[in-house]
């Protein structure tokens, strides 16, 4: 007997600045009720370009903050771990769901693969040979942490012809899973590397973008294919939606956090945000996969 596909909300918020993008991601997670809310696939972009720090990074140690200020590059801190990411000329996605929206008994690594499988499908629909690093480089030591995510290579990174494309990071709560990641339209990894205290070398030849892989097309067409790939691999129904009034209110409140230097530079939760928590408090935070 056929089962009815689970309906996911598809929310395309378009181009937003860094603080707003991170506030929307966290608002969707905080507003999510694992027992009642439909899961979410969000698509978005960044304007102006921005740097994002991993949740536990030391901004002063890893970034050349003087150069960042001189150039005026926006800087935000994510709720996921890993290293610095430069966001420009990319399509970004985020996912909010509950464990029961995935096949049962999946390990953390298996759930990560399950939630990134639509990216493999997307790249392959474009004619690209996309595979996980662990499948391309068996036996090779992977997972060395780097301050700049584009400079590292982890087991679940997606590679095209041996080069890293985009990246993904996951955070798990007791009854909720949050994941976000990027699909680079053009390769801007080297542009972001100049803001690192220890600038990575050769980054332009170890990473790849859709343009470098010979893929053109407009952003709307790529987003449409990305959504179709998600629908096909997850076997779900996607319903176009927008942020609810309560989610918009949460974004407004969280913007104070993401525009606060205490949070962005030091990871200090602003006092006016500390009392805010979800109805499903975190008992597990997993940020080992930060692939950019």
Residues marked active site are found at 149
Where would I find the H helices in the chain? 18-31, 59-62, 65-71, 108-125, 133-136, 189-193, 203-206, 219-234, 245-258, 261-266
189 vs 193: CA distance, rounded Å: 6
CA distance linking residue 279 with residue 277, whole number of Å: 7
Cis previous bond, 69, omega within 30: no
Q: Measure the CA–CA gap between 201 and 238, rounded to whole angstroms.
A: 41
Q: 3-state DSSP: the chain helix, strand, coil percent, rounded to 5?
A: 35, 25, 45
Residue 50 tokens read as: 């921005």
168: Cα within 13 Å, side-chain hemisphere: 26
Identify whether the C-beta of residue 64 lies closer than 8 Å to the C-beta of residue 197.
Answer: yes
Q: Residue 54, by phi and psi: left (phi above 0), alpha (psi -120 to 50) or beta?
A: beta
Q: Give the residue from 74, 62, 83 showing the smallest Cα distance to 198.
A: 62
Question: Please, is 3 exposed, middle or buried when counting C-beta atoms within 10 Å of its C-beta (0-12, 13-18, 19+)?
Answer: exposed
């Amino acid at each position: 007997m056929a089962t009815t596909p689970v309906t996911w909300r598809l929310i395309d918020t378009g181009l937003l600045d860094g603080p707003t993008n991170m506030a929307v991601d966290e608002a969707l997670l905080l507003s999510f009720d694992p027992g009642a809310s439909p899961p979410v696939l969000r698509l978005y972009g960044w304007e102006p370009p921005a740097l994002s720090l991993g949740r536990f990074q030391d901004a002063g140690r890893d970034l050349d903050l003087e150069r960042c200020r001189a150039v005026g590059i926006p800087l935000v801190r994510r709720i996921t771990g890993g290293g610095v990411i430069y966001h420009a000329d990319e399509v970004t996605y985020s996912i909010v769901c509950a464990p029961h929206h995935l096949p049962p008994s999946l390990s953390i690594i298996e759930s990560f693969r399950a939630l990134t499988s639509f990216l493999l499908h997307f790249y392959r629909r474009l004619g690209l040979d996309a595979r996980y690093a662990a499948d391309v480089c068996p036996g090779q030591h992977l997972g060395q942490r780097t301050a700049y995510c584009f400079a590292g290579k982890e087991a679940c990174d997606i590679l095209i012809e041996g080069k890293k494309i985009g990246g993904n990071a996951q955070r798990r709560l007791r009854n909720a899973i949050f994941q976000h990641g990027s699909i680079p339209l053009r390769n801007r990894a080297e542009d972001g590397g100049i803001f690192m205290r220890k600038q990575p070398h050769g980054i332009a030849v170890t990473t790849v973008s859709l343009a470098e892989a010979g893929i053109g097309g407009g952003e709307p067409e790529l987003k449409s294919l990305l959504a179709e790939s998600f629908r096909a691999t997850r076997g779900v129904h996607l319903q176009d939606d927008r942020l609810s009034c309560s989610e918009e209110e949460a974004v407004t409140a969280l913007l104070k956090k993401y525009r606060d230097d205490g949070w962005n530079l030091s990871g200090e939760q602003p006092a006016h945000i500390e009392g805010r928590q979800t109805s499903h408090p975190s008992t597990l935070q997993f940020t080992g996969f930060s692939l950019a």
